Amino acid sequence: MKPPIPVDEEERLARLRSYAILDTAPEAGFDDLVALAAHLFGVPMAFVSLVDSERQWFKAKVGLDVCETSRDVAFCAHAIVQDAPLVVPDTLRDPRFADNALVTGAPHLRFYVGAPLHTGSGSALGTLCVLDTAPHQVAPQSVAMLQKLAAMVVDRLELRRKLEELKDALEARARADEARERTVVELRDALDRVRKLEGLLPICSGCRQIRDESGAWRQLDHFLAATGKARFTHSICPVCVKALYPDFSGA
């Protein structure tokens, strides 16, 4: 039997992708919880299964080599539509799974318990599940313990997301600091260029008047007297003496 589609499927998938965890490398924290779940139930297989739109993908796994299966055959796709764990003591006695390809063929699953991974309201992202090729009767206390382990998986998912968000924020801040430093350097360079330009005085090539800060043209001696401490006395250079007074022989 094909698994049902949650009524909030679009929202559920958006929530799953917000964790940016699909197709990521194994992580010890998830691997340890899967190993503990398998040990608790005394079974050879256990997974952290995340149910994507067309597949179930295993973030952590024990006892199975593949990293994903089709969603159509995923026991966990049935588990995510309910609040309580899905317990299947014998798959051959359950009409939902008796003709499932994973039951009738390899790995010939006969036992399944999946605790939904609820990260908020609505359907779960996936499950923490345990499986075996032989049927089992399971105690309620063991199912309750699997729920506690599933809650720890969710805690790790939340912690992982917060660490990724913090990493992104720190990287963004570093980029902003670099941009700010470049701006400071550019402003300093621009200021240096302005200071250099302050030493340049526009002077007329013909009459030699100086243009002041207000834009007015002033005689050079008047400009220098107004902007400095120098005082001027009239004199005449030898070149001008010869030009203006060619008959003057000097003293």
Q: What is the pLDDT of residue 200?
A: 64
DSSP 3-state assignment of 197?
Answer: helix
**157: in domain:** yes
| Distance, CA of 149 to CA of 102 (rounded, Å) | 25
Question: Which pLDDT belongs to residue 197?
Answer: 52
In this prediction, residue 199 carries a pLDDT of 62
Spans in the chain with pLDDT lower than 70: 193-201, 205-206, 212-213, 220, 223-225, 227-234, 249-251
Q: 63 and 117 share a domain?
A: yes
Q: Name the one residue in this structure whose structure tokens are 């002041």.
A: 212
Is residue 148 in a domain? Answer: yes
pLDDT at 195: 62
Same domain, 68 and 128: yes
Does residue 141 sit in the same domain as residue 220? no
User: CA-CA distance, 80 to 88, in Å (whole number)?
Assistant: 14
Residue 126 phi/psi, 5-degree rounding, is 175, -150
Instruction: Report the CATH number at residue 114.
Output: 3.30.450.40
Instruction: State the number of CA atoms in the 13 A half-sphere of 74 facing the CB.
Output: 31
- 72 is in which domain, residue-wise? 9-165
pTM for the full predicted model: 0.69
Measured between its terminal Cα atoms, the distance across the chain in Å is: 127
Which of 110, 137, 165 corresponds to the end of one domain?
165
Number of domains in the chain: 2
Query: Which of 147, 165, 183 is at the close of a domain?
Result: 165
Tokens of 37: 């779940």
Looking at residue 230, its pLDDT comes to 60
Measure the CA–CA gap between 171 and 177, rounded to whole angstroms. Answer: 10
Same domain flag for 23 and 125: yes
| pLDDT value of residue 169 | 83
- H-helix or E-strand spanning residue 50: strand 45-51
pLDDT at 219: 78
List Cα–Cα distances, 61 to 5, 11, 33, 44, 57, in angstroms.
24, 26, 10, 10, 10
Q: Find the radius of gyration of the CA atoms of the chain.
A: 41
Asked if 224 and 118 sit in the same domain, the reply is: no
Tell me, yes or no, whether 150 and 96 share the same domain: yes
Residue 201 lies in a domain: no
Classified as helix, coil or strand, 62 is: strand
pLDDT of residue 124: 95
Same domain for 130 and 237? no
